[in-house]
Amino acid sequence: MGNILDYLTTMGLFQQLFWIFSLATAILILAYHAFLVIYYPSNLPRVGADKGNAWSAMRKQFNTDCLSLLNEVYENYSKKGKSVLIPVFGPHDEVILPPSSLAWLCRQPDNVLSSLDAQIDSIQPHHSLGNKFAYDPWGGMLIKTDLNSAIETVCAVLNDELSAAFSACFGDDCDNWKEIDLFPACRIIGGRATLRFTLGDSPEGRRLCADEGFVQSCYDVLDGMLDTAGAMASSLKIFRRFVGPWASRAMPGKLRDLAKCIEPLYQERMKFLRDQPTEKDSEPQDLIQMMLQYAVNERPEEANNLDDIAKRLALSNFGTMHQTIITLHNLILNIIDSDTEFDTVSTLRDEVTSVLGQGSDTTSKQWTKSKVAAMVRADSVARETLRVNSFIGRTVQRLVVAPSGVMTPDGIQLRRGTMVSILAHQSQTDEDYFKDPFKFDPFRFSREREAAADEVTGHPGLNHLSMVSTSAKYLAFSHGRHACPGRFLVDFELKMIMAYAVKNYDLEFPEQYEGKRPPNSWFSGFGIPPLEAKIRVKRKKSV
Ligand code: HEM
Ligand SMILES: *[C@@H]1O[C@H](CO)[C@@H](O)[C@H](O)[C@H]1NC(C)=O
């Protein structure tokens, strides 16, 4: 030490400052990284440790066959009320809490267990879009507060959008079967329906919904965000800030394209806000208008920046489009798959007819919120699809953010930085709760609900079994305070798309499928749909 001090005194002032500065920086960086290394308490079970399995072997099992690992975790730990540490994708670990801790988990305040920080960790929007879009997600807040009025509007007009989207993807041929790639078709149909809600309530917005280049641009940005999230998940946290710019290198170009596409819409809507701020009646009832209105009042610097608004749209589309399209894809496959045994298609057709009235062709503006809500069988088909084909494997994911950590109900003190979650798929397919748990039974929930219908009004009972009612056995939308607020829109969208499809088309699988849908696969904790699946469609002659 003395030698170093002697050495320092022989240096000039600038050299001294330089070394002191470097040393201080190095210490700061080390201290910062020390926070990113998470220590787990010794009384937290490590999966496989009791069988003498190496952690690396468990990680390998997660990477090659996460379903088998998560199934064992559910049986050996979750069902016994025990928390357990498991390896997850990349170099990361996560604490799987038992379903018995769900109520406790949902009760924790955001400054102890944070949903936002967990979402940021998995989506990495601070890298794909920028810090303020990640840490100040006001767009999501609008979904929570203002969704209802927009749903009413969407109900009335969605069928026009669906009519055009279905013609573009399924065609109008009433005489010949047509084989189509289902996933790209769902991206167009589900995407246009969602965009109709997001920005379709003005001439410029309607033009954009029908503009293939624009819809593609939305998906380019969305795919870029998914790619960024995937690359970041493979990286150790300490390297993430260096990996970030590389992982998101394609984003600026994609976002520029998106901004270019929406510029006319942006001008149209901003002009509206400038010229007619009091004429509420003619104000477009869609998400982008709510967002711009909010931005003008609360975030004026963003409102005046087209690139910022494009990024807000990108974040919103990420929430509204990705899982909705995957669910739609599973839903259509399940309807066809179950048709032979359950007569799913004609049951749904009958329901649409009884809701809309005889002889209806489902065009024009006959749909209302209450009509959509009356489709209890379609509701059951959607809920059952999310039950057996949930995209997320782990749900109610939270990051421990309290500086002093948090104590789980089973007495384990978790430190700040620990990620916790509950298994969704295994909870939803638990044989102790569901008969034939892996079977897609389209009317599993509506049978019970119709049996419990109100004798006077005929309204179905057991609302807790509806598609939007989350529970410990239905976790695809998560549960509690942060449960997906978009599910009320998904509900309407899926039912109307389903209604349109069965009323206007005959549907079947290509012969080589032998009546069975291609299965989903599990990868890195997610239920991945068979993206290459094909179906055959034929337009029904209008009645
Ligand atoms: C089938 C489609 C969808 C599924 C399965 C789904 C699922 C989820 C899940 C699991 C969460 C995490 C909740 C938590 O952290 O506990 C979430 C959050 C969220 N979703 Fe969805 N979602 C879907 C569609 C949508 C749509 C269409 C919208 C917008 C209209 C939307 C808006 C949001 C927002 C704003 C959040 C953040 C909520 C918060 O942090 O409090 N989602 N979603
Ligand atoms: C779960 O328990 C079974 C039976 O004791 C055992 O064979 C298996 O290795 C355990 N799996 C895990 C992941 O702990």
The residue among 371 and 280 whose pLDDT is bigger is 371
Q: Among residues 211, 204, 243, 210, which one has the least CA distance to residue 227?
A: 243
- Give the model's pLDDT for residue 364: 43
C-alpha pair distances (Å), 410 with each of 45, 413, 418:
11, 9, 16
The atom of ligand 1 lying closest to the CA of 390 is 5
Whether the per-residue pLDDT at 390 is higher than 80: the answer is yes
- Give the model's pLDDT for residue 278: 62
Mean pLDDT (whole number) for 294-314: 96
Task: Name beta bridge partners: 72.
Answer: none
Residue 437 CB contacts under 8 Å (≥ 6 apart), including other chains: 429, 430, 431
- Phi first, then psi: give them for residue 111, nearest 5 degrees: -90, 5
Mean pLDDT (whole number) for 164-177: 95
pLDDT tens for 419-428 read 999 999 999 9
CA of 394 to the centre of ligand 1 (A): 14
Given pLDDT bands bounded at 50, 70 and 90, which one contains residue 356? confident
pLDDT tens for 428-439 read 999 999 999 999
CA of 319 to the centre of ligand 1 (A): 6
Answer for the pair 39, 415: CB distance below 8 angstroms, yes or no: yes
Given pLDDT bands bounded at 50, 70 and 90, which one contains residue 365? very low
CA distance linking residue 399 with residue 525, whole number of Å: 17
CA distance linking residue 189 with residue 182, whole number of Å: 10
Mean pLDDT (whole number) for 42-59: 94
Mean pLDDT (whole number) for 353-380: 77
Tell which one of 108, 196, 484 to mutate to probe ligand 1, the residue whose CB is within 8 A of the most ligand atoms.
484
Tell which one of 51, 66, 86 to mutate to probe ligand 2, the residue whose CB is within 8 A of the most ligand atoms.
51
CA distance linking residue 222 with residue 255, whole number of Å: 10
The atom of ligand 1 lying closest to the CA of 396 is 16
Q: Please name the residue whose Cα sits nearest to atom 10 of ligand 2.
A: 72
> 143-147, 180-184, 507-511: lowest mean pLDDT where?
143-147
- Residue 335, number of CB atoms within 10 A of its CB: 25
- Give the model's pLDDT for residue 359: 53
Answer for the pair 193, 161: CB distance below 8 angstroms, yes or no: yes
CA distance linking residue 97 with residue 85, whole number of Å: 9
Mean pLDDT (whole number) for 126-132: 95
Torsion from C-alpha of 242, 245, 248, 250, nearest 10 degrees: -140
Q: Which residues line ligand 1 (CB under 6 A)?
A: 115, 140, 143, 319-320, 323-324, 327, 392, 395-396, 476-478, 482-486, 489-490
Q: Considering every ligand atom shown, identify the ligand nearest to the alpha carbon of residue 526 and give its number.
A: 1
Mean pLDDT (whole number) for 507-529: 96
- Give the model's pLDDT for residue 279: 57
Given pLDDT bands bounded at 50, 70 and 90, which one contains residue 214? very high
- Give the model's pLDDT for residue 8: 60
- Could you report how far apart the first and last alpha carbons of the chain are, in Å? 93
The atom of ligand 1 lying closest to the CA of 475 is 10
Q: Please name the residue whose Cα sits nearest to atom 2 of ligand 2.
A: 76
CA of 135 to the centre of ligand 2 (A): 40
Whether the per-residue pLDDT at 124 is higher than 90: the answer is yes
CA of 526 to the centre of ligand 2 (A): 22
Mean pLDDT (whole number) for 84-104: 96
One-character DSSP codes across 270-336: HHHHHH-TT-GGGS--SHHHHHHHHHHHH-HHHHT-HHHHHHHHHHHHHHHHHHHHHHHHHHHHHHH
CA of 42 to the centre of ligand 1 (A): 34
Whether the per-residue pLDDT at 328 is higher than 80: the answer is yes
Q: Please name the residue whose Cα sits nearest to atom 19 of ligand 1.
A: 484
pTM of the model: 0.91
Q: Provide the residue count of the chain.
A: 543
Mean pLDDT (whole number) for 204-230: 95
Q: Is 218 annotated as a binding residue?
A: no
- Give the model's pLDDT for residue 280: 60
CA of 484 to the centre of ligand 1 (A): 3
DSSP state of 507: E
Answer for the pair 483, 470: CB distance below 8 angstroms, yes or no: yes
Domains of the chain: 36-123 (no CATH), 131-391+431-472+476-539 (1.10.630.10)
The atom of ligand 2 lying closest to the CA of 75 is 1
Q: Considering every ligand atom shown, identify the ligand nearest to the alpha carbon of residue 75 and give its number.
A: 2
Mean pLDDT (whole number) for 34-43: 81
Mean pLDDT (whole number) for 76-93: 96
Share of the chain above pLDDT 90, in %: 77
Q: Please name the residue whose Cα sits nearest to atom 11 of ligand 2.
A: 72
> 54-68, 264-278, 296-310, 390-404: lowest mean pLDDT where?
264-278
CA of 48 to the centre of ligand 2 (A): 7
Answer for the pair 467, 379: CB distance below 8 angstroms, yes or no: yes
Q: What is the mean pLDDT of the chain?
A: 92
CA of 444 to the centre of ligand 2 (A): 32
Helix (H) or strand (E) run with residue 219 in it: helix 212-233
pLDDT tens for 441-497 read 999 999 999 999 888 888 888 999 999 999 999 999 999 999 999 999 999 999 999
- Give the model's pLDDT for residue 11: 73
Q: Which residues line ligand 2 (CB under 6 A)?
A: 47-48, 51, 72-73, 76
- Residue 349, number of CB atoms within 10 A of its CB: 15
CA distance linking residue 448 with residue 428, whole number of Å: 17
Q: Considering every ligand atom shown, identify the ligand nearest to the alpha carbon of residue 47 and give its number.
A: 2
